[in-house]
Structure 1
Amino acid sequence: MEATKLLVKFCVLLVVFVACTTNNKKSNLPWEKHGKLIVNTNSRIIQHKDGTPFLWLGCTAWGMTEWLSREDVDIYLDDRKSKGMNIVQLCLFWGKRKDYPTNFYLNPENQYGDKAFVEVDSFPNVLVPAIKKGGSTTNPNDYWDHVDYCLKAIKQRGMYAAILPFWGRRYVNATHKGQSKQVFTAKNIKQYGEFLGMRYGDQPHIIWVNGGDVKAGQGGDFVSIYRLFAEGLAKGITGKDIKWNEKNPAWDEFLMTYHPDGAPLINSSEWFHNDPWLDFNMIETHVNRDMIPASIRKDLAMKPIKPTVIGEGHYEGETNGRIAKAIHIRRQLYQTFFSGGAGNTYGGGFDEQGNGPLFSPTNNWKHLLEWEGAGQIIHIKKILQENKWWNWQPVLGLISEGKNEGELEKLVVKSEGNYLVYFPEHTNCIINLKNIYSLQWFNPKTGELLAEAVSEDNKFVPPDDWEDAVLILMHK
């Protein structure tokens, strides 16, 4: 009897010890460690509630919930996280199964044969999501259970999900001739937003992305329809009826932007910059690599200032007949932040054999994870964090000769009295320096850091054999 009592006491103490240890263990999940994501008034960065800056380094997996099995979801996420990416951009109703030729499905099945919506006369009724009882993330039995699994897998890795509720180009504006049809209308889109808000509104790792590769006003009065979606989402998340143009603190309960098409100077700010629901702007430059500085400057010149993110650039590999190599990926990344951007999203296209695309992983895609440009993202993450990128202020006029333009434009930022200059190619320039600085060269390709003396004539050129470089000029 005495032995039994001692055993019971030991078990109780063990349970208390484990509980205390678990409760006192510090979380590495960013939303638990630093609070939810917010955007302060007239700020060009996204940050956590405790003031910690949020560095957006994303990746595109648009068709994840349709194309990938649960095992492949885990493979994809583990790789992207290991390469420094912290956001996955995905679309809950993507609909494109193949690119060449492009196949279009009104109500596409996922890898398990499940569809998102109940059909009436072979047409998806978006007011009736196809939900079966009894499923879970560990034992999914319908389309939305698989979505739940994908979002949980992202969350478990401490990553964020930037969710497009639909691909607007196909299912709202329906501007993709022969490959689109309007499914979401003014009569049902608000209810769909409410459904998503109720189902996922309590998830701290979700960022909402309205739109979907389309100019909001293209083909008709669709601006009002996207605003209806924002109202519905707010109702689902907050339980409050809020009008799209109403300044209400309830909008601050979640983060939202809009994903445009690839016209680089016509972005979310074109239609929604002053809408209270739009927390930050998003740009798609796609194959227009030379337009990144100009598009970011255009957004940041607007009032009030809002952060702007390159949500879709040129994909590594082949896209629409154009090739992007690692050097092009690096230029996009560095020019984003050196122009004042708050984030950049990486994507991969097809390889020379036609495998892929990686931007919506399919067709022998796994070896594409090892593309060179993706592996070099970890280096920009390092230099951004070590040099307090959130304090960077773009500087014009410091380069007197050799500045160039577009994709080859050399860019300068100032941070706490120091200057950083991005050289997108191996050419020289003259920098007007009034003070004496110590100098370091950073290699974006390898992460290598070199120190050398300041040039006497203020002419600088990257070290031999470097494709691009960052010059760090520091007070002695």
Structure 2
Amino acid sequence: MAGRLRLAPGGRYLLDEAAAPFFWLADTPWSGPLLSSEEDWEQYLADRQRKGFTVIHCVTTQWRATPASAEGEVAYEGSGPIRINHRFFDRIERRVRAINDQGMVAACVLLWDYGPPDRTPGELPERYAVELASYIVDRLWELDTVWILAGDGDYTGERARRWQRIGRQVFEGRDGLVAMHSNSMSWPYDAFEHEPWLHVWGYQSGHGDDERTIRWIYSGPPTTRWRELAPHPIINLEPPYEGIRAYQSGRPHTDYNVRRAVWWSLLSLPPAGVGYGAHGLWSWETEPRVPIEHPNSGVAPTWREAMALPGSAQMEHLGSLVRSLPWWELRPAQELLDRQSERPEGHIAVAAALDGGLMLAYTPLGEGISLRHTPATAKWFDPRHGTCLPAEVGLDGAYAPPSREDWVFVAGDESLLPKS
């Protein structure tokens, strides 16, 4: 049981209730608490618990993709004053409690901030946005939660000042952890650096697949600004969802696309965790269809089919490897690499512990790893199946992966390396 989370000393990752480093490995059934039956929700949570997920992302009101709960209830009516529906929150509270019962933490979006005005609580006048968010926090306060104050919004300029004011009013005098979830490929957190109520800086690399998106994941503001700003856990809460259509090509994102974005995100800034999502699960579809208000996302499978997509098992492998290592000591270390891929989509991401005892590198195209210094011991980790093979340096001074697929290179003290 993770229990109540808190910031670690130094501020770059989280601790669980027992003061152990907590790796944020999240699945994203945004609409699950609104639409699921109790039996289906329990089945889903048991699957995610078995696969090692530690956090469940969810929305706590009606929102863009889900106008009402399965019973036709809404969280509130009106835009000023508002009428809060306590019966709606009976359902939400039961679903959040079930997350905790499986030993996972609920990351609850309080005020989704993009979509039609009648189901976008982030667009409420400030006093009513504060009223609604405060009610939800009070209602769920005894549960193990991280509050995502706002979801999918633009938090720059005057919008940043608006959310600063809302955050101060909702969380003044409270000690729970608070995050934000920004819109695709944006970085608003320079403006939030000194907001004491905000602890986790959540961003989304989004669902694009063009070269600009690819480069942004490993060289965009999240990978550079952490060096200049006050330490915070920085987490890609929304890499591409498995199965959703990509913005540019229109092709469904594969498990490979998801793996690549996730591994790049973890090794390109101090790791604190990562999110995962599957098309059909995020919107909790009970029959194949295009999700509401997402016409370009493609026909989604049912949540049950989406739950079984291969990416979630690969997140299990990722979590097992990362949690077996002192991951919280890793920092980006591209300087250790002697030769980089010539292709943007082949970018080799490298991170290492400051004491030199551990290094990880991700090669998305199965290109060799050429280092400035030869490590004592090294292994190849297969991110598709979770197995390990020995790694040996070739005559050209590079470590050649076992196949021309993506691999994770793990090197350092033999006592730290995975055994199989």
TM-score by length of 1: 0.75
Instruction: Give the whole-Å Cα distance in 2 for the aligned partners of 1:471 and 1:183.
Output: 46
Q: Is residue 2:64 matched to residue 1:96?
A: yes
Deviates more, 1:403-412 or 1:424-433: 403-412
Measured in 2, the distance between the counterparts of 1:88 and 1:383 equals 20
Q: What residue in structure 1 maps to residue 371 of structure 2?
A: 431
**Cα offsets for 1:129-173 (capped at 9, x unmatched):** 122xxxxxxxxxx211100111111110011111111211137xx
2:318 counterpart residue number: 380
Structure 1: gaps (5+ residues): 1-28, 99-107, 132-141, 235-241, 243-249
- AA at the equivalent of 2:273: G
CA distance in 1, matches of 2:120, 2:31: 16
2:103 to 158, 178, 187: 158
1:18-417 alignment, distance < 5 Å: 29-31=1-3, 36-40=4-8, 42-48=10-16, 50-97=18-65, 108-117=67-76, 119=77, 123=78, 127-131=82-86, 142-170=87-115, 184-203=124-143, 205-217=144-156, 221-234=158-171, 242=172, 250-251=173-174, 253-262=175-184, 264=185, 266-288=186-208, 290=214, 291-295=216-220, 296-319=222-245, 320=247, 321-339=250-268, 340-349=270-279, 355=289, 364-404=302-342, 406-415=344-353, 416=355, 417=357
SS at match of 1:317: coil
- Cα distance, 1:315 vs structure 2: 0.7
Residues in 2 aligned to 1:45 and 1:181: alpha-carbon distance in whole angstroms: 29
Q: CA–CA distance in 2 between the matches of 1:383 and 1:183?
A: 41
Kept after mapping to 1: 8 A contact 2:55/2:107: yes
d(CA) in 2 for partners of 1:475 and 1:226? 45
**Does the Cα contact within 8 Å between 2:31 and 2:59 map onto a contact in 1?**
yes
Instruction: Please give the alpha-carbon distance, in whole angstroms, between the structure 2 residues aligned to 1:382 and 1:181.
Output: 37
**Aligned match of 2:362:** 422
Query: Which secondary structure state, in structure 2, belongs to the residue aligned with residue 44 of structure 1?
Result: coil
Note the alpha carbon deviations across 1:450-473, whole angstroms, 9 max, x for none: 114333432122103x51111222
Letter in 2 for 1:86: T
Q: Which runs of 4+ in 1 moved over 4 A?
A: 178-183, 353-363, 404-407
Q: Cα gap change, 1:79/1:407 in structure 2, threshold over 3 Å: closer, same or farther?
A: farther
SS of alignment partner, residue 366 of structure 1: helix
What amino acid maps onto 1:294 in structure 2?
S
- CA offset digits 1:298-340 (Å, max 9, x no partner): 3412321211000111110123424211111111222222122
Verify the 8 A CA contact 1:440 1:471 in the aligned structure 2: yes
Q: Distance in 2 between matches of 1:182 and 1:471?
A: 43
- Please state how far the C-alpha of 1:390 moved relative to its aligned partner: 1.1
Q: Percent identity?
A: 21
1:270/1:37 Cα in 2 relative to 1: closer, same or farther (>3 Å)?
same
C-alpha distance in structure 2 between counterparts of 1:95 and 1:365, whole Å: 18
Partners of 2:119 and 2:135 lie apart in 1 by 26
Amino acid at match of 1:282: G
Deviation of residue 51 (structure 1)? 3.3
Give the Cα separation in 1 of the matches to 2:110 and 2:69: 16
CA deviation profile, 1:250-292 (whole Å, cap 9, x unmatched):
45x1100111100x2x224143222111112111111245122
Q: Structure 1 residues 165, 436: CA separation in 2 closer, same or farther (over 3 Å shift)?
A: closer
Contact conserved, 2:107 with 2:145, CA < 8 A, in 1? yes
For residues 274 and 62 of structure 1, the distance between their equivalents in structure 2, rounded to whole angstroms, comes to 29
Q: Judging changes above 3 Å, is the alpha-carbon distance between structure 1 residues 144 and 440 closer, same or farther for their aligned structure 2 residues?
A: same
In the alignment, the residues of structure 2 paired with residue 215 and residue 327 of structure 1 have an alpha-carbon distance, to the nearest angstrom, of: 29
- Alignment match, 1:135: none
- The whole-number CA distance in structure 2 between the counterparts of 1:441 and 1:115 is 50
SS in 2 for 1:445: coil
Looking at structure 2, the residues matched to 370 and 181 of structure 1 have their Cα atoms a distance apart, in angstroms, of 32
Q: Quick check: 275-284 or 454-463, which moved more?
A: 454-463
Distance across 1 between alignment mates of 2:300 and 2:319:
28
Shift of 1:366: 1.1
Query: Which residue of structure 2 aligns with residue 138 of structure 1?
Result: none
Q: Which has the larger radius of gyration?
A: 1
Cα gap change, 1:281 to 1:299, in 2 (>3 Å): farther
Number of corresponding residues: 393
Counterpart-to-counterpart distance in 2, 1:182 and 1:456: 59
| Contact kept in structure 1, 2:58 and 2:109, CA below 8 Å | yes
Cα distance in 1, alignment partners of residues 322 and 202 from structure 2: 20
Letter in 2 for 1:472: V
Q: Deviations over 1:83-115 (max 9, x none)?
A: 2212111111243347xxxxxxxxx33112322
Distance 1:195 1:74 in 2: 26
Supply the AA of the counterpart residue of 1:279.
H
Confirm or deny: 8 A CA contact 2:111 2:120 kept in the other structure. Answer: no
Partner Cα separation in structure 1 for residue 238 and residue 122 of structure 2: 24
Q: Deviations over 1:220-245 (max 9, x none)?
A: x33343234323432xxxxxxx3xxx
Following superposition, the deviation at residue 79 of structure 1 comes to: 1.9
Distance 1:329 1:216 in 2: 26
RMSD: 2.9
8 A contact 2:52–2:320 mirrored in 1:
no
Asked if the contact 1:44–1:300 (Cα under 8 Å) also holds between the matched residues in 2, the reply is: no
- Equivalent in the alignment of 1:462: 401
Cα deviation code 1:16-50 (max 9, x no counterpart):
xxxxxxxxxxxxx222xxxx311246432112355
Q: Classify 1:436/1:93 alpha carbon distance in 2 versus 1 (closer, same or farther; 3 Å).
A: closer
Contiguous gaps of at least 5 residues in structure 2: 282-286, 415-420
Q: Deviations over 1:57-84 (max 9, x none)?
A: 1011111232222222222222222222
Deviation at 1:371, TM superposition (A): 0.7
The answer (yes or no) to whether the contact 1:193–1:230 under 8 Å persists in 2 is no
